[in-house]
Amino acid sequence: MDVLSFLFICCKLVLFLSESSFASDTITSSQSLNDGRTLVSKDGSFELGFFSPGSSKNRYVGIWYKNIPVKTVVWVANRLNPINDSFGFLMINKTGNLVLTSQSNIVVWSAYLSKEVQTPVVLQLLDSGNLVLRGEHDGDSETYFWQSFDYPSDTLLPGMKLGWDLKTGLERRVTSWKSFDDPSPGDFIWAIERQDNPEVVMWKGSRKFYRTGPWNGLRFSAPSLRPNPIFSFSFVSNDVELYYTFNITNKAVISRIVMNQTLYVRRRFIWNKATQSWELYSDVPRDQCDTYGLCGAYGICIIGQSPVCQCLKGFKPKSGGYVDRSQGCVRSKPLNYSRQDGFIKFTELKLPDATSSWVSKSMNLKECREGCLENSSCMAYTNSDIRGGGSGCAMWFGELIDMRDFPGGGQDFYIRMSASEIAKGEPTTKIVVIVISTAALLAVVLIAGYLIRKRRRNIAENSRETDQENEDQNIDLELPLFELATIANATDNFSINNKLGEGGFGPVYKGTLVDGQEIAVKRLSKISEQGLKELKNEVILFSKLQHRNLVKLLGCCIQGEEKLLIYEFMPNKSLDSFIFGLDPSNLKIFS
């Protein structure tokens, strides 16, 4: 070791020993973090420090879970430049930049700030696992000069963004480790394609091997994970940002997404507290049909079919037999590339590669169809957003590649076809329409017939009731029948001043006929339980009975709802007057 190196180490040791103590989650510009010391987030979830992966002896600065016994690294600073000894230092330099230096005071990694920071800064490890460089006096502000979340390694944590800052051109992508012992970038990349109709894509080197399909407002058209009580998802696409992120709604759950250098590339894990181990929640690719472009142009991959590659309706294998995955399918009927063409609707599809697609958020589905039909290069269209019944327009140009069937998921998709191809399905459609129309007409006829018969039956029953009522009203009771007008005139229209009393079946009124004869009129109540038949029987009975103590029944009036009995008027008061002291020989009563 030369003299200069020795002096450098001594200076660092003196600096370290003379440092004032600092908060466990923060270091200031006057402090540094050496190999052997760590920062711990306030809630104890994450820890920052130096580590060696697997069997490697190289030293890296990284972040891992603090409260999990299985050491799980989620971020690495110097992935490309490890330190081969234990004399590394992480510090904030004079320009406010975060740097990692080796034994020879060489900068092996830096946060690479775009400009010098004038204000005092601190480095802080947040509870989210985000390492941030912020103003010393900014407190809880989320304005950072730099943050580790902008530079993911192989792991996406809740709240991290996968995608682009369109103002600065910063891309956030996740890249696998090369191996368990080497955190340098591997072959597999998880990123968002920056295009008019963006989608999440996975690459192996320069070869695309998986894609999610475009975001449709609720999810990607190839749903790898549906909304559930544990996770929530967001996809933002505007003039400022383009990114995907997920969050955990249950704070007790610990979860991460990792890009692996294996067959199952992207894996989502949840920490199982009971077994003290990481539990696989989901992974992609899930099956053979997740392989990008497996069935070629206009081919569709259907799990459960043999072979899994099939041609869309209106297409046939280009090779002439089974679908050759390398050649795909061709149209059964050539297009006219004019307004004579039409569209066939396909459902529950993973939408094809959106690289050559175009989106308008202001157009509706009808306008989208017309616009696609006007452009001879447009091969298909659909809603860009399926929420609330659908809105927006997405058009595809050129060959349609990488489609699969998604029962219970996917999306509606309208593919351009020749008029003759569409006409093949019209006879069946016409038959269906005719059958439905005939059934509907027959149902209307049957209902109308039933209503007519019911109306006729009601009319007949009403007629019989009217005839019976008239017959009952005109029955010969062997008594004089009084007109209602005559009785109303005699009682001053049933005036309350003429009311003599009231019994269980209705009131009794005094009246005077035009010849001067005084009468007592018993007006049966409309709510009385005594019906017309009972009244008739009573009248017949009274007309045949004669007794000196029974008041004489002079007649009756049955007209409409009115039922009246007309008795001779007796001036000797009521029955109770005679019971309590009057001469029984003078007693006469009303029935």
Rounded to an integer, the average pLDDT of 232-260 is 93
Rounded to an integer, the average pLDDT of 99-125 is 89
Q: How far apart are CA 358 and CA 378, in angstroms?
A: 10
pLDDT at 143: 86
- Burial profile 27-47: b = 16 or more Cβ within 10 angstroms, e = fewer: bbbebbbbbeeebbbeeebbb
pLDDT at 453: 76
DSSP codes, 452-468: HHHHHHHHHHHHHHHHH
What's the pLDDT tens digit per position in 454-482? 777 776 666 555 555 444 444 444 568 88
Cβ atoms 222, 232 nearer than 8 A = no
Among 490, 491, 408, CA closest to 222:
408
pLDDT at 469: 47
H-helix or E-strand containing 449? helix 426-473
536 or 260, which is more confident?
A: 260
pLDDT at 473: 45
Cβ atoms 498, 509 nearer than 8 A = yes
Mean pLDDT of the chain: 84
436 or 452, which is more confident?
A: 452
- Fold annotation for 484-586: Phosphorylase Kinase; domain 1 (3.30.200)
Same fold, 1-151 and 484-586: no
What's the pLDDT tens digit per position in 133-166? 999 887 777 789 999 999 999 999 999 999 999 9
Ranked by mean pLDDT, the top range of 222-236, 522-536, 568-582 is 222-236
pLDDT at 422: 86
Please check the confidence at residue 1 and state whether its pLDDT lies above 60.
Answer: no
Q: Which tokens sit at 504?
A: 């269980």
Lowest-pLDDT range, 112-116, 243-247, 515-519? 112-116
Determine the number of helices (DSSP H) and then strands (DSSP E) in the chain: 7, 39
What's the pLDDT tens digit per position in 292-344? 999 999 999 999 888 899 999 999 998 877 666 778 999 999 999 988 999 99
Amino acid (1-letter code) at residue 326? S
Rounded to an integer, the average pLDDT of 564-583 is 63
Percent of the chain residues past pLDDT 70, beyond the cut: 79
Among 194, 260, 200, 278, CA closest to 234:
200
Rounded to an integer, the average pLDDT of 74-99 is 94
Q: How far apart are CA 419 and CA 433, in angstroms?
A: 20
User: Domain residues of the chain, as ranges?
Assistant: 1-151, 299-424, 425-474, 484-586
CA dihedral sign of residues 176, 223, 200, 256 = negative
pLDDT at 452: 75
Rounded to an integer, the average pLDDT of 10-21 is 42
Please check the confidence at residue 181 and state whether its pLDDT lies above 90.
Answer: yes
Q: Which tokens sit at 161?
A: 């963004």
What's the pLDDT tens digit per position in 340-389? 999 999 999 999 999 999 999 999 999 999 999 999 999 999 999 999 99
Amino acid (1-letter code) at residue 386? I
How many Cα atoms within 13 Å fall on the side-chain side of residue 83?
A: 27
Percent of the chain residues past pLDDT 90, beyond the cut: 54
Rounded to an integer, the average pLDDT of 263-292 is 92
1-151 belongs to which homologous superfamily? Bulb-type lectin domain (2.90.10.10)
Lowest-pLDDT range, 101-105, 505-509, 532-536, 583-587? 583-587
Secondary structure class of 368 (helix, strand, coil): helix
**Which positions ≥6 away from 106 have C-beta within 8 Å?**
none
Q: Residue 219 — pLDDT band, cuts 50, 70, 90? A: confident
